[in-house]
Structure 1
Amino acid sequence: MKKIKIAGVPEHFNLPWQLAIENNEFTDYNIDLEWTNVPEGTGKLCEMLRSGETDLAVILTEGIIKDILAGNPSKIVQIYVKSPLIWGIHVGANSSFKTVSDLKDTRGAISRRGSGSELMAYVNAHNQKWSTENLKFEIVNTIDGAVEALTNEKADYFMWERFMTKPLVDQGIFRRLDDCLTPWPSFVIVATDDLLKNSPEVIQKTLQIINFKTKKFKEIPGITATIAERFHQKIEDIEHWISRTEWSQESMDQEMLNNVQNQLFEFGIINKKGTFAQLAIR
């Protein structure tokens, strides 16, 4: 039995992994896949890949491209979710800010440096035609940290996946001013260079198993009710989310990677571009 460590955010996108593990779909092929939930998000996942704390990660496309270019010894092995991620732009319930334009030069709450919550602030600034040099951030680690920061005015806004934060909007803790969509595929699967060198066949088998799961995921009987229960969501919100979410079973190709890098460069998220061989495998 080959033990493999994998990490990702505790969000509905990753339920296919959880269900496959619970159903012993990896152990049936002699893979002991150990999942770790990482609520801190992409920045923490990058740290775990660098340190060898995890072998695989399901991670935001923009965050891992930036970190591989900065020396993370990992490669993108596949696109996981090809549809864009919908980031809600949130303020505290009692905030005086009414529109996204009001947030110019204010403080964004982010989980940590290099996280999606930081990088998407650059995308939003570009969309709003703001100077990214004036972006300011408060590190809050988790959603709970963002609640505390916005409630106590330590930060002014927080960007996070719209549906995962909707319960906080429904409870009157956050107000959502608008959405900001990623102009690239949401999530990719990443493997460390060590795993790619020493166990390429295990990676391929793991991908085959999860690809079969995601291909059939929407057809699982009662899946919307299962997601709603596990993630404390309303059924109608999950129906909306799942209708907009498309998993992928395809590798990253050169054209797509170039398009993503060009946009990341334009937005000021990266200051150099890499080759396909540096960033991904086919």
Structure 2
Amino acid sequence: MPLRVGFVREHFSSPLLQFAEADGGKTFTLVECPSGTGQLIGRLENNEIDVAIALTDPLISGIAKGSKAYKLVGSYVTTPLNWAVITGKNSEYNSIADLKGTTIGISRYGSGSQTMAYVMALQQGWPTNDLKFKVNNDIRGLLDSVNDGSTSAFMWEWFTTKPFVDAGEARFIGSVPTPWPSWLIAAHPERAPADSLREFLGTLSTYVREFNSRENRAGPDVQFISEKFGYPEEDILAWLKTVGYPEDCAAIPRKVITETLDVLLEAGFVHAPEGGFQVEQFVDTELVHLT
């Protein structure tokens, strides 16, 4: 049975999409999850996917909060994610500071859009125990909510939301980069066979290294992203200057887990058990090279 791989169709997914086109469904099939990491985690829990390429912080916080639906099996993007803070085109909010005490739009509870709201509050010195959220499922629901006034703002990746801002549907009022590398790979501990995962991670590493090469960044990557996502060339080139991928998708630096937990603990989004967290509880130790 091919692995069912959940993903978000964004420019970050380009090496995965190239791999999928070459594979033709022989070893894995893609399952699109437009609502993001909260949806990916839900589908892991509901036996709708076996593997998820998803945001670092919700994956780690989910395990920290007790989820048994997945373990970390690899890395996908080694650089931070730049989260834009977006408000309505005619809203009263003009800076992040204006958002204190308001209702923030999120895609789902446990999503990156929620965890990063805690990080934003931490940076601003706001209390994190009384943040207010409204679930709006996807980018369209989030945009509608900031324009109908039911939320003040929401957070989403900068270049994914830029076309909506360029079209006048919303406004940027700030950004909050993640304090951690942005994307990891997780898998259900029983449904995803180890041999299949090793093959998947090994071949994905090849596509990631090719995409990440200087030669492909100079031309082929730009053309692929333009054809798949319709972004202007200047936006693609600007994004490529900011993004990095791993040499080995089956390796995870220990500090990615420990430093992410430190921030999530400080923000009050997770709470440590007696004796603290152990890195090994977050990963499939048979598959992952902890570095």
Q: Say whether the 8 Å CA contact 1:25–1:209 is kept in structure 2.
A: no
Q: How far apart are 1:271 and its partner, in Å? A: 0.9
Alignment of 1:238-253 (within 5 A): 238-248=236-246, 249-250=248-249, 251-253=251-253
Q: How far apart are 1:25 and its partner, in Å? A: 7.2
Q: Say whether the 8 Å CA contact 2:129–2:268 is kept in structure 1.
A: no
1:127 aligned to which of 123, 127, 133:
123
Alignment of 1:133-282 (within 5 A): 133-195=129-191, 199-218=193-212, 219-220=215-216, 221-248=219-246, 249-250=248-249, 251-272=251-272, 273-280=276-283, 281=285, 282=288
1:59 aligns with 2:62: no
Describe the SS at the equivalent of 1:193.
coil
Distance in 1, Cα, partners of 2:257 & 2:58:
13
- Count of aligned positions: 275
CA pair 258-154 structure 1, distance change in 2 beyond 3 A: same
Describe the SS at the equivalent of 1:168.
helix
1:82 aligns with 2:78: yes
Structure 1 unaligned residues grouped into runs of 5+ = none
Describe the SS at the equivalent of 2:2.
strand
Please tell me the root mean square deviation across aligned C-alpha atoms, in Å.
1.5
Q: How far apart are 1:229 and its partner, in Å? A: 3.1
Q: What letter corresponds to residue 230 of structure 1 in structure 2?
A: K
**Between structures 1 and 2, the one with greater helix share:** 1
With normalisation by structure 2, the TM-score equals 0.90
Structure 2 unaligned residues grouped into runs of 5+ = none
Describe the SS at the equivalent of 1:79.
strand
Q: Say whether the 8 Å CA contact 1:20–1:26 is kept in structure 2.
A: no
Distance in 1, Cα, partners of 2:256 & 2:97:
31
Distance in 1, Cα, partners of 2:11 & 2:68:
26
Describe the SS at the equivalent of 2:119.
helix
Q: What letter corresponds to residue 231 of structure 1 in structure 2?
A: F
Distance in 1, Cα, partners of 2:140 & 2:20:
27
Aligned to 1:112: 108
Distance in 1, Cα, partners of 2:255 & 2:222:
34
With normalisation by structure 1, the TM-score equals 0.93
1:5 aligns with 2:4: yes
CA deviation profile, 1:29-71 (whole Å, cap 9, x unmatched): xx2x110110111111111111221110001111011112222
CA deviation profile, 1:156-197 (whole Å, cap 9, x unmatched): 10100000000011011111011100001100011111045x
Distance in 1, Cα, partners of 2:75 & 2:152:
33
Alignment of 1:18-97 (within 5 A): 18-24=17-23, 27=26, 31=27, 33-69=28-64, 70-97=66-93
Q: What is the percentage of aligned positions where both structures have the same residue? A: 32
Distance in 1, Cα, partners of 2:265 & 2:151:
27
Q: How far apart are 1:124 and its partner, in Å? A: 0.3
Q: How far apart are 1:258 and its partner, in Å? A: 1.5
Q: Say whether the 8 Å CA contact 2:81–2:181 is kept in structure 1.
A: yes
